[in-house]
Every structure is written in structure tokens, then in C-alpha cells.
């Protein structure tokens, strides 16, 4: 797995909230999820998809047996993190963790059944193996398969030392009970098991005068003393015996720990393999649970195009749900290396970019995707060029930040090695079914050059689009990148090899009717939320071809719907026509 992390693309695609629904249960599964994997190895991705499919089959088979599913989760959830390196001596707590792991590993295998367990590499502990010998030894210590204790049976010396400790404890206790009874009988003072008592000065003086050797006293304040029961000679003797027995016990414990540690060290290769197999099953189960929750399907990684059918960008769907708005899944196919996507404000073109990255990142995390169909290929990188919510980059203007991101996406930044590979984009398309060239990137540009003047912005945008067109003049031809450009700028150059699309946008007839019914005062509904809901209702979130013939965006209509003064909207239309835009 590559260590490359497409952090900005991840943030732009709003994956965090969705990622919280992906819930492996073991420590290693959680580690893997927290690492937000980005896998650029197609074989590894296909293997992971196969795993998810196998786990889906398990979940479907056991759908009528909830207790079985509960047990499957139960054992994974109880897996402890354990030391996997061979050591001369393990701590008691580490031996406990190994025992607990083995108990739950056996439980998990039992729930899965032998064929499925073996499919994930969860081998049983073989007869005669070091792991089996270790498990048998650990099973001797503890009242439960998941607890551990250095039991007397491990070592004759241990049992003998503990018997001496117990005898000493009994003697100490007996002496203490006797001393407390004497205090009550002689002085009416009840210690009741308390280590000390705070007693009045007079009582203390009487106790010390009559039986000073049985008690110790120290001042508490000017009227009271702290009084303790002094151990008797027999109790002192028992305490000494106890200390000697404890020393012998420690020696015996160290012998036992050394012996079990040697078994554990020998079993580490098998335990490591069991941990890896368990983590694999855990990730597959979590991926399958996610797939069931969201109706997700297996991505296809053999496509020269990028195609989505009823693709649900869940973070947006949730947000729409919270706002009471409708959400339209995306259906679209993009064949070229460069696609320019036009659309008005609120038309959904940024959401399309987010959707594309969301799907690609999920697919390259080894997970299914929430669409009826998603066809793509594997990219070495997924990049985003545009603004991110709440970001600050000291010392750089907005334009500088854009250019910095642009250069980084193109591998022209010092921190990012230049893209590798030499296959031309066209060749990559022709070789549908082959892995993407090493170094190929999927890049989303959201409103590139938004921070500069429109004339220069269109020129810059045109040049960048051209560089991804795969045509003879393209600077980056041959590296297999696929780029998407969402933009307002209608004047961007029309270039061969580039797809031009637009969001279908506002259903102006329906919107006009709404305006008309509201007396021309915009969509009724009270407040921004109601007006946004009205616009959403009449916005068509679909990607259609753009032949370049359209000129007017929906901005003025939207301004009108939002309630902007009608006279201003009319004057804007006048200027739009006057300038021939």
C-alpha cells in the first residue's frame, strides 16, 4: 500500500462524516480505518472487494440468525491489541492479552465456519504447533478463557510459597481480630477493621497507661490522638514469614513467566498471521456492513471512462435531508481525459466534483460505493485544486494558493514527485481494462482562477484544460491524468479531446410559475431556508452535454428567486444583452 494520502481531496469530498460509518471492531481494523487507506494497486483492491463480497455472503446467510451475527461482532470487539514481537520475557498483562486473543480468535473462527475462516486465512491452531502449546499452557491459568492468572499449578514452588503466604495472612488476621476484640473489651473502643482511630485524649491515655505495648498513639490535635493497634509478637513473626514467602513466590512467578514467554515467542509467527487474518476479516465485515447499510455496489476498475449510475453522494444527501430538500443521485459518463463542467450558482457542479472524488476515494480505499454502477480505473493520485472550507495559508494570496495547488496536482511542487509513466491518455483509453499508468492522477478543479480577473482567468483555465486534453499541444499528455473543471467561465476555449458538459440547471418555466404565483416577489417560504428549498425544487441536478450555444446562466433567475429587487434583476438583464454576453 502506498503511503500517499490525498488529504485535500478527502476533505473536499467530505468523506469524514461518511467514514465514521465504517466501523471495524478490532484494534488492527480500527488502525487501518484511521489510516484512511488510499490503495493504488488494483490487484489489492480487487482482493479487498472479493473479501467484502465474501463477508456480504456471510451476513446474508446469517440474516435469520441474529445471535450468530452478534457473536461474530462480539469476538472481534473483544480482541485485545497484543505484543507481536518475540521477547525474552512478556509482562503478565501481555500474556493475558495473548490468551484473550486466542480465546476470541477461536470464537470468531467457530462463528465463521471452517471454509470462510480459511478463506480469510484464519487457520486453526495446528496440533503440535507452538501456538497450540502456548494456548494450552495459558488455559491452565485463570478462571475463565479470557482471564489470566499465574495459577499454583504452573510451578510447585509457587503453590508452596502461596500456601505459606496464606498461612501467614491467617495468622496476621487472627492476631488482629484478637487485638481488636481486646481493645473493645478493655477500653470500649471498636476498630472495626479500621487501620487507625481518632480517639479523645483521655481514652488514649487510659489505653496507653494500661496496655501501651498493644497500641501506638500520636497527636491528632490538642484534644485527640491517632491510635493504632500494634502487631503482637505472633503477628510480627507471621509478617516476617509472609515476606519470605513473597520473595519465594516472586522467584517462582519469574520461572513461570520465563517458561510461558518462551512458548509465546515461539508462537509469534502464528499469532502474527492470525492477527493479520483477523484484521482482514474485520475490514471485510465492516465493509460489508457499510455496503448493506447504504446499498453499495462493487466498483469496476477496468474502465477507460468514468461512469456513475444513480451515484449517491451521501454527505450531500444527508445535508439535503436535514434541510428538507430533495437529493438527486448522479448519473453520468465521462470518456475524455479532460471535462469542463459549466453551471450556474447552486446548480450542483461542485457537488458533481465532490461526488466523483468521493466515489474514487471510496473505491481506492477498498470499499464498495453507494451507486447502482461505478466504473473507473485505479489512479496513483487523487487531487483537488480549489478552496477548502476554513483554510488559511499564511503569506499566500488566494491566487497564490490556487497556483500552488495546481502545481502540486501536476507534480510540479517540490513536495510531490513528478508523475511517472509514459502512456498517452489516448492509449490509456484504448487499453481499457489495463491498470492506469503509474503516476496517473484524477484531479478535480473547482472554479480554477476564480480569484483573478475573468479575462485572464479564462485564458489560464483554457491553457490548463488544454494541458490535460491529451492533444498534441498538451503539456501533460502521456501521463494518463483525468481532469474535471467546474467553472462559471463560459469563454473557456473549446478544444479537441475535451468534453464540455453543463448542469441542466434551473427549470425556468417551473421557477417562473413559482415567481408568478408569488406575485413576482421570489419564492415564498419565509427566510433563506424556504427560498433555498424553492430553488432546489426547480433545479435539475443532471449533467448534460454543452454545445457552447447557451449564454445566459441561471444566476439572474436565482437572484430573482432569492428575492433580489426586481428592478436590479431587470437592469442586469439589460446590461447582459447590451454587452452581447
Partner 1 sequence: MLDRPEDFVGRVTFVTGPEKHCGKTTFMNRAAALARRGARESGRAAPALLTVGYDGEARDFLSGARKPAVPVEPGDLVVTTERFARPCSPEILDALPGSTALGRLCVARAGRPATVALVGPEGNSLVAWAVRRILDDGLADTVLVDGAINRVTQAASIDGARFVYAVRVDAAGLDRSVSRVRRMAALAGLPLASADAPAGGGEGACGSVAVSGALTAETAARLPPSAEEVVVDDFTKVFLSDAELAAFTRGRRLLVARRVEFGGFVVACRGLSDDAFLERLADDSIAAAVAFNPYEERPGRAA
The contact set with partner 1 (CB under 8 A) reads: 80-81, 91-93, 96-97, 142-143, 146-150, 162, 165-166, 169, 173, 189-190, 192-199, 203, 220-224, 246, 253
DSSP class of residue 436 equals P
Minimal distance, residue 555 CB to partner 1, in Å: 34
> Do 313 and 351 form a contact (C-beta atoms < 8 A)?
yes
**What is the torsional sign of CA 106, 107, 109, 113?**
positive
Which CB sits closer to partner 1, 27 or 329? Answer: 27
d(CA 277, CA 274) in angstroms, rounded, equals 5
Residue 172 or residue 514: which is nearer to partner 1 going by CB? 172
Q: Which is nearer to partner 1, 36 or 224 (CB)?
A: 224
Pairing mode, strands 441-446 and 381-385? parallel
- Residue whose CB is less far from partner 1, 172 or 351: 172
- For 229, the 3-state DSSP assignment is strand
Taking alpha carbons only, the member of 315, 310, 378 closest to residue 12 is 315
CB of 94: closest distance to partner 1 in angstroms?
Answer: 8
Length of the chain: 581
Give me the DSSP letters along 60-118. HHTTT-HHHHHHHHHHHHTPPP---S--S---HHHHHHHHHHHHHHHHHHHHH-HHHHH
Query: Is the CB of 11 or the CB of 246 nearer to partner 1?
Result: 246
CA dist 448 and 135 (Å) reads 61
Buried b (16+ CB within 10 A) or exposed e, 146-178: bebebebebbebbeebbebbeebeebbeebbee
Min dist CB 96 to partner 1, Å, is 4
Q: How far is the CB of 165 from partner 1 (least distance, A)?
A: 7
Reference 472, options 432, 424, 439; nearest CA is 424
**Identity of the residue, 26 or 328, whose beta carbon is nearer to partner 1 in the bound complex:** 26
Note whether 337 and 470 are within 8 A (CB): yes
Give the nearest distance from C-beta 389 to partner 1 in angstroms.
20
CB of 223 to partner 1, least distance (A): 8
CA distance linking residue 480 with residue 422, whole number of Å: 8
Q: Is 217 in contact with 225 (CB distance < 8 Å)? A: yes
Q: Say what the alpha-carbon torsion angle 57, 298, 290, 14 is, to the nearest 10 degrees.
A: 170
- Least separation in angstroms between CB 148 and partner 1: 5
Q: How far is the CB of 362 from partner 1 (least distance, A)?
A: 28
Which C-beta is closer to partner 1: that of 33 or that of 150?
150
CA 9 → CA 321, 381, 397, 516, distances in Å? 24, 10, 21, 42
Q: Is the CB of 5 or the CB of 87 nearer to partner 1? A: 87
Contact 465, 458 (CB under 8 A): no
CB of 19 to partner 1, least distance (A): 21
Cβ distance to partner 1 smaller for residue 81 or 494: 81
- Specify the residue, 142 or 524, whose C-beta has the smaller distance to partner 1: 142
Closer Cβ to partner 1, 27 or 566, answer by number: 27
Shortest distance in whole angstroms from residue 170 CB to partner 1: 10
CB of 459 to partner 1, least distance (A): 46
- In this structure, the number of other CB atoms found within 10 A of the CB of residue 389 comes to 7
Amino acid at each position: 500500500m502506498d503511503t500517499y494520502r490525498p488529504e485535500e481531496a478527502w476533505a473536499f469530498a467530505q468523506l469524514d462524516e461518511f467514514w465514521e460509518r465504517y466501523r471495524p471492531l478490532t484494534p488492527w481494523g480500527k488502525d487501518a480505518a484511521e489510516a484512511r487507506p488510499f490503495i493504488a494497486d488494483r490487484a489489492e483492491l480487487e482482493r479487498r472487494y472479493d473479501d467484502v463480497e465474501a463477508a456480504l455472503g456471510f451476513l446474508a446467510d446469517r440474516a435469520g440468525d441474529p445471535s450468530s451475527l452478534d457473536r461474530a461482532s462480539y469476538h472481534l470487539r473483544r480482541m485485545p491489541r497484543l505484543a507481536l514481537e518475540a521477547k525474552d520475557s512478556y509482562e503478565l498483562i501481555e500474556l493475558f492479552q495473548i490468551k484473550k486473543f486466542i480465546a476470541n480468535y477461536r470464537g470468531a473462527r467457530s462463528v465463521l465456519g471452517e471454509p470462510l475462516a480459511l478463506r480469510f486465512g484464519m487457520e486453526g491452531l495446528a496440533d503440535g504447533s507452538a501456538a497450540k502449546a502456548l494456548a494450552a499452557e495459558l488455559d491452565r491459568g485463570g478462571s475463565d478463557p479470557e482471564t489470566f492468572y499465574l495459577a499454583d499449578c504452573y510451578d510447585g514452588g509457587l503453590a508452596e510459597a502461596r500456601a505459606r503466604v496464606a498461612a501467614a495472612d491467617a495468622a496476621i488476621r487472627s492476631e488482629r481480630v484478637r487485638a481488636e476484640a481486646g481493645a473493645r473489651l478493655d477500653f470500649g473502643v471498636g476498630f472495626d477493621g479500621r487501620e487507625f482511630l481518632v480517639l479523645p485524649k483521655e481514652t488514649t491515655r487510659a489505653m496507653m497507661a494500661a496496655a501501651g505495648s498493644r497500641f501506638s498513639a500520636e497527636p491528632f490535635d490538642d484534644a485527640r490522638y491517632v491510635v493504632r493497634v500494634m502487631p503482637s509478637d505472633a503477628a510480627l513473626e507471621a509478617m516476617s514469614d509472609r515476606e519470605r514467602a513473597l520473595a519465594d513466590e516472586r522467584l517462582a512467578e519469574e520461572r513461570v513467566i520465563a517458561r510461558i514467554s518462551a512458548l509465546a515467542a515461539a508462537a509469534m509467527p502464528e499469532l502474527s498471521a492470525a492477527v493479520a487474518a483477523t484484521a482482514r476479516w474485520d475490514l471485510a465485515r465492516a465493509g460489508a456492513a457499510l455496503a448493506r447499510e447504504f446499498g453499495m455496489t462493487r466498483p469496476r476498475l477496468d474502465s477507460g471512462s468514468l461512469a456513475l449510475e444513480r451515484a449517491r453522494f451521501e454527505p450531500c444527501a444527508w445535508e439535503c435531508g436535514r434541510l428538507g430538500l430533495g437529493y438527486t443521485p448522479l448519473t453520468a459518463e465521462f470518456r475524455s481525459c479532460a471535462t469542463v463542467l459549466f453551471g450556474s450558482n447552486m446548480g450542483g457542479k461542485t457537488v458533481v466534483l465532490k461526488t466523483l472524488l468521493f466515489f474514487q476515494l471510496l473505491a481506492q480505499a477498498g470499499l464498495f460505493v453507494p451507486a447502482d454502477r461505478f466504473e473507473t480505473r485505479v489512479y496513483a493520485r487523487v487531487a483537488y485544486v480549489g478552496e477548502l472550507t476554513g483554510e488559511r495559508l499564511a503569506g499566500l494570496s488566494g491566487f497564490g494558493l490556487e497556483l500552488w495547488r495546481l502545481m502540486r496536482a501536476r507534480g510540479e511542487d517540490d513536495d510531490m514527485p513528478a508523475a511517472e509513466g509514459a502512456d498517452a491518455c489516448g492509449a490509456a483509453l484504448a487499453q481499457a481494462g489495463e491498470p492506469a499508468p503509474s503516476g496517473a492522477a484524477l484531479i478535480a478543479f473547482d472554479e480554477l482562477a476564480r480569484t483573478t480577473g475573468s479575462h485572464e482567468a479564462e485564458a489560464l483555465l483554457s491553457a490548463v484544460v488544454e494541458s490535460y486534453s491529451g492533444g498534441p499541444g498538451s503539456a501533460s499528455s502521456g501521463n494518463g491524468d483525468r481532469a474535471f473543471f467546474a467553472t462559471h467561465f463560459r469563454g473557456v476555449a473549446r478544444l479537441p479531446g475535451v468534453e464540455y458538459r453543463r448542469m441542466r440547471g434551473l427549470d425556468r418555466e417551473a421557477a417562473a410559475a413559482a415567481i408568478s404565483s408569488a406575485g413576482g416577489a421570489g419564492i415564498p417560504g419565509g427566510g433563506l431556508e424556504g427560498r433555498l428549498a424553492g430553488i432546489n425544487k426547480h433545479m435539475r441536478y443532471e449533467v448534460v452535454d454543452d454545445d457552447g450555444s447557451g449564454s445566459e446562466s441561471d444566476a439572474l433567475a436565482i437572484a430573482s428567486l432569492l428575492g433580489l429587487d426586481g428592478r436590479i434583476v431587470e437592469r442586469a438583464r439589460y446590461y447582459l444583452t447590451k454587452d452581447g454576453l
